[in-house]
C-alpha cells in the first residue's frame, strides 16, 4: 500500500481514487497518442487527501458541543486561523504527540489548534476545536490504526484527518504574552467554546404572513414586498438591507463563481466560515474574522474584503508573487486547503517572480497526477510554495502553483507596499531559514514508511 502512496510516476498516482482520472487510461504509453481527450483534474481527488494512503480507518462516535462548553483538550500551535468546517489532515511523527492524540481519540476525539496573534509569534488566546474522524497509526494499514485506536501499543507515528468544528477561547491564560512556540508540542489547555450568533430577518415581525407565498417567487417582487413590510416600521428599507443575509450571500456567490466554486453554503454561519477559509487574507484580517461571534458581521467584513482588489506578495521581501484574479479551485474544499504538517495553500493558475528549486517529485503529491517542485521568491529566495506540473499531457490544468498561505501576504493593489518595520524584518530573516528547513520536512516521508514495505 505504501508503494501506491509514493508513486514514482511510472504508474501515476492518478490510478487511485477514481473520478475523472480513472476514466482515462493511465498508462504512460498513451501519452504519445495525438488524439487523446483533454481531462480536467478531478478536484475531489485533492479533497480526499489520497496522498495519506488508504490505511485510514473511520473512528465512530461524535461529540455534540454547544456554545459555553468548557473542557480540557490537548492543543498544539498552528500558524494561522483555521475556520470551522475546514478539513485538517495531520501527520504526527513525534511519539509524545502521537500518544497524546491516541489518548484523545479513545476519548472525545477532540483536540485544539491554537491560533497565533497577527504577528504570528504570540498566542492569541483563540483556537479551533477539531474532531478526528479518520486515523491510521504507525503507517501499518487499517489494522495498525485499529490497534492504535485501542491503545494496545503506543504508536510512534500517527496520521489522521480531523474536521475543525468550533471556535474556542483559552481559559486561565497568563496575563503576559505567551510565545506560540511554547505550544509546538501537544499539551493540555482549558478552553471554552465561543457562541455563533445567528440573526433572523429583522423584518420578520412586521411582515404580512398572507403574502408569504409570493415571497420566494422573483427578486423584484420580493423587494417590493420587503419595502411594504418596512413601511409599517420606523426604519426605511435600506436599514433592513444591511441585515439582509441573502444579499450578502449573492455578492459572495458571484465572487466565487469566477473561481469555479459553485457549492456555496446556504446557512449564514457556515457561509461566513467557508468564505473566510477561501479568501486570500492577511493574518490580521483572518484573525479579525475569526474573533467575531456574529455571522452577519463576519459576512459584512468579508463582503468589504472581497471589494478590495489585492495581490499576493512574498511575506519576506514584499515582491509581487501572484494576483488574486488568478486564484482558482484545485480542490472541492475550495481555493484554499489544509495539507499535512499544518501546511495550508492557496492555488493560483500563474505566479510571477518565482524560481524553482530542486527536481520535480511525485512523492506524496497532494494533487494525484501532478509532480511538485519547490518554488522560491526570485528576489529573496524565500520559500513561497510549490509548482505542480501534470504528469500526463492531456491533464488540465497542465501547471499551477500552490502558494503557502503564511509565506505570501495579500497587499492592496493600489498603494505601494509600506516599508516593513525593523522588528518585522529581523523576524522575517529568522523565518526564512526556518522555511527552508520546513519545505524539506513537508514532503518528507513518514519515518517508518520504508521499513514497513
Ligand atoms: Zn521575497
Chain segment 137-170, per-residue pLDDT in tens: 554 433 344 444 444 456 688 899 999 999 999 9
More confident residue, 393 or 154: 393
pLDDT band at 174 (very low <50, low <70, confident <90, very high): confident
Contact indicator for 326, 362 with CB cutoff of 8 Å: no
> How many A from CA of 150 to the centre of ligand 1?
47
The residues, ordered by sequence, that sit 6+ positions from 20 with a Cβ below 8 Å of its Cβ are 39, 40, 41, 42
The residues, ordered by sequence, that sit 6+ positions from 280 with a Cβ below 8 Å of its Cβ are 310, 312, 324, 327, 335, 336, 346, 405, 408, 410
pLDDT for residue 17: 35
pLDDT at residue 426 tops 70? no
> How many A from CA of 405 to the centre of ligand 1?
14
Q: b vs e for 10-37, b when ≥16 Cβ sit within 10 Å of the residue's Cβ? A: eebbbebbeebbeebebeeeeeeeeeee
Q: Which of 75, 73, 153 is nearest to 108 (CA)?
A: 73
Q: Which of 153, 163, 160 is nearest to 139 (CA)?
A: 160
For the chain, the 3-state helix, strand and coil shares in percent, each to the nearest 5, are 35, 25, 40
> How many A from CA of 411 to the centre of ligand 1?
14
pLDDT for residue 4: 39
> How many A from CA of 313 to the centre of ligand 1?
8
Determine the average pLDDT of the residues in 202-216.
Answer: 80
> How many A from CA of 376 to the centre of ligand 1?
8
pLDDT for residue 437: 47
Q: Which of 106, 108, 113 is nearest to 155 (CA)?
A: 106
> 3-state DSSP call for residue 255?
helix
- CA dist 105 and 99 (Å) reads 10
> How many A from CA of 196 to the centre of ligand 1?
38
pLDDT at residue 27 tops 50? no
Strand partners, 44: none
> How many A from CA of 362 to the centre of ligand 1?
26
Determine the average pLDDT of the residues in 351-362.
Answer: 94
Determine the average pLDDT of the residues in 223-245.
Answer: 85
> How many A from CA of 363 to the centre of ligand 1?
27
> How many A from CA of 87 to the centre of ligand 1?
29
pLDDT for residue 386: 95
pLDDT at residue 185 tops 90? yes
pLDDT for residue 436: 53
More confident residue, 322 or 436: 322
Q: b vs e for 384-407, b when ≥16 Cβ sit within 10 Å of the residue's Cβ? A: bbbbbbbbbebbebeebbbbbbbb
Determine the average pLDDT of the residues in 75-100.
Answer: 92
> How many A from CA of 320 to the centre of ligand 1?
8
pLDDT for residue 208: 78
- 265: buried, middle or exposed (CB in 10 Å: 19+, 13-18, 0-12)? middle
Q: What is the mean pLDDT of the chain?
A: 79
pLDDT band at 429 (very low <50, low <70, confident <90, very high): low
pLDDT for residue 314: 94
Q: State the DSSP string of 51-99.
A: GG-S--EE--------TT-EEEEEEEE-SS---TT-EEEEEE--HHHHH
Tell me the pTM: 0.75
pLDDT at residue 20 tops 70? no
> How many A from CA of 356 to the centre of ligand 1?
13
pLDDT for residue 175: 84
> How many A from CA of 352 to the centre of ligand 1?
11
> How many A from CA of 382 to the centre of ligand 1?
5
The vertex-112 CA angle with 107 and 117, nearest 5°, equals 170
Please state, for a pLDDT cut of 70, what percent of the chain lies above it: 77
> How many A from CA of 381 to the centre of ligand 1?
6
Q: Within 13 Å of residue 177, how many CA atoms lie on the same side as its CB?
A: 11
pLDDT band at 289 (very low <50, low <70, confident <90, very high): very high
**Which of 5-14, 23-32, 104-113, 268-277 is predicted with the least confidence, judged by mean pLDDT?**
5-14
> How many A from CA of 308 to the centre of ligand 1?
23
Q: Which of 195, 199, 196, 178 is nearest to 187 (CA)?
A: 178
pLDDT band at 57 (very low <50, low <70, confident <90, very high): confident
> How many A from CA of 76 to the centre of ligand 1?
28
Tell me which H or E stretch contains 112: strand 110-116
Contact indicator for 312, 280 with CB cutoff of 8 Å: yes
- CA dist 204 and 283 (Å) reads 37
> How many A from CA of 410 to the centre of ligand 1?
13
Determine the average pLDDT of the residues in 402-428.
Answer: 65
The residues, ordered by sequence, that sit 6+ positions from 29 with a Cβ below 8 Å of its Cβ are none
> How many A from CA of 348 to the centre of ligand 1?
17
Contact indicator for 343, 386 with CB cutoff of 8 Å: no
pLDDT at residue 419 tops 60? no
CATH architecture of 55-193: Roll (2.30)
> How many A from CA of 314 to the centre of ligand 1?
5
pLDDT at residue 400 tops 90? yes
> How many A from CA of 316 to the centre of ligand 1?
5
Tell me which H or E stretch contains 129: strand 123-137
The residue extents of the domains of the chain are: 55-193, 204-308+417-442
> How many A from CA of 378 to the centre of ligand 1?
7
Amino acid at each position: 500500500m505504501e508503494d501506491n502512496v509514493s508513486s514514482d510516476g511510472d504508474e501515476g498516482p492518478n490510478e487511485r481514487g477514481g473520478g475523472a482520472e480513472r476514466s482515462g487510461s493511465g498508462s504512460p504509453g498513451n501519452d504519445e497518442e495525438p488524439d487523446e481527450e483533454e481531462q480536467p483534474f478531478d478536484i475531489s481527488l485533492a479533497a480526499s487527501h489520497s496522498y495519506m494512503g488508504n490505511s485510514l480507518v473511520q473512528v465512530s462516535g461524535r461529540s455534540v458541543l454547544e456554545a459555553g462548553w468548557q473542557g480540557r483538550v490537548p492543543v498544539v500551535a498552528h500558524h494561522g486561523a483555521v475556520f470551522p468546517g475546514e478539513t485538517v489532515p495531520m501527520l504526527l511523527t513525534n511519539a509524545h504527540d502521537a500518544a497524546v492524540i491516541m489518548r484523545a481519540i479513545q476519548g472525545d476525539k477532540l483536540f485544539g489548534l491554537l491560533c497565533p496573534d497577527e504577528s504570528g509569534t504570540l498566542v492569541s488566546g483563540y483556537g479551533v476545536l477539531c474532531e478526528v474522524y479518520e486515523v491510521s497509526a504507525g503507517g501499518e494499514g487499517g489494522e495498525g490504526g485499529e490497534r492504535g485506536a485501542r491503545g494496545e501499543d503506543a504508536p510512534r507515528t500517527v496520521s489522521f484527518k480531523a474536521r475543525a468544528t468550533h471556535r474556542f477561547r483559552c481559559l486561565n491564560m497568563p496575563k503576559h504574552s505567551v510565545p506560540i512556540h511554547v505550544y509546538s508540542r501537544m499539551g493540555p489547555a482549558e478552553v471554552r467554546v465561543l457562541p455563533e450568533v445567528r440573526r433572523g430577518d429583522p423584518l420578520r415581525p412586521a411582515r404580512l404572513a398572507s403574502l408569504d407565498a409570493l415571497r420566494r417567487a422573483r427578486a423584484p417582487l420580493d423587494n417590493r414586498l420587503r419595502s411594504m413590510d418596512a413601511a409599517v416600521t420606523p426604519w426605511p428599507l435600506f436599514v433592513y438591507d444591511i441585515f439582509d443575509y441573502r444579499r450578502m450571500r449573492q455578492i459572495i456567490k458571484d465572487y466565487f463563481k469566477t473561481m469555479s466554486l459553485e457549492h456555496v453554503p446556504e446557512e449564514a454561519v457556515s457561509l461566513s466560515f467557508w468564505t473566510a477559509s477561501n479568501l486570500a487574507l492577511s493574518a490580521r484580517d483572518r484573525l479579525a474574522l475569526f474573533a467575531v461571534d456574529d455571522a452577519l458581521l463576519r459576512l459584512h467584513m468579508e463582503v468589504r474584503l472581497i471589494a478590495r482588489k489585492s495581490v499576493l506578495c512574498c511575506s519576506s521581501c514584499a515582491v509581487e508573487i501572484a494576483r488574486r484574479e488568478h486564484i482558482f479551485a484545485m480542490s472541492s474544499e475550495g481555493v484554499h486547503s489544509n495539507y499535512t504538517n499544518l501546511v495550508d495553500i492557496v492555488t493560483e493558475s500563474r505566479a510571477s517572480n518565482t524560481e524553482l528549486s530542486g527536481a520535480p517529485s511525485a512523492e506524496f503529491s497532494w494533487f494525484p497526477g501532478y509532480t511538485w517542485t519547490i518554488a522560491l521568491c526570485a528576489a529573496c529566495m524565500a520559500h513561497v510554495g510549490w509548482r505542480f506540473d501534470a504528469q500526463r499531457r492531456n491533464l488540465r490544468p497542465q501547471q499551477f502553483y500552490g502558494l503557502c498561505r503564511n509565506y505570501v501576504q495579500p497587499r492592496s493593489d493600489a498603494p505601494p507596499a509600506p516599508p516593513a518595520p525593523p522588528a518585522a524584518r529581523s523576524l522575517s530573516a529568522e523565518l526564512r531559514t526556518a522555511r527552508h528547513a520546513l519545505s524539506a520536512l513537508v514532503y518528507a516521508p513518514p519515518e517508518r514508511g520504508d521499513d514497513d514495505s
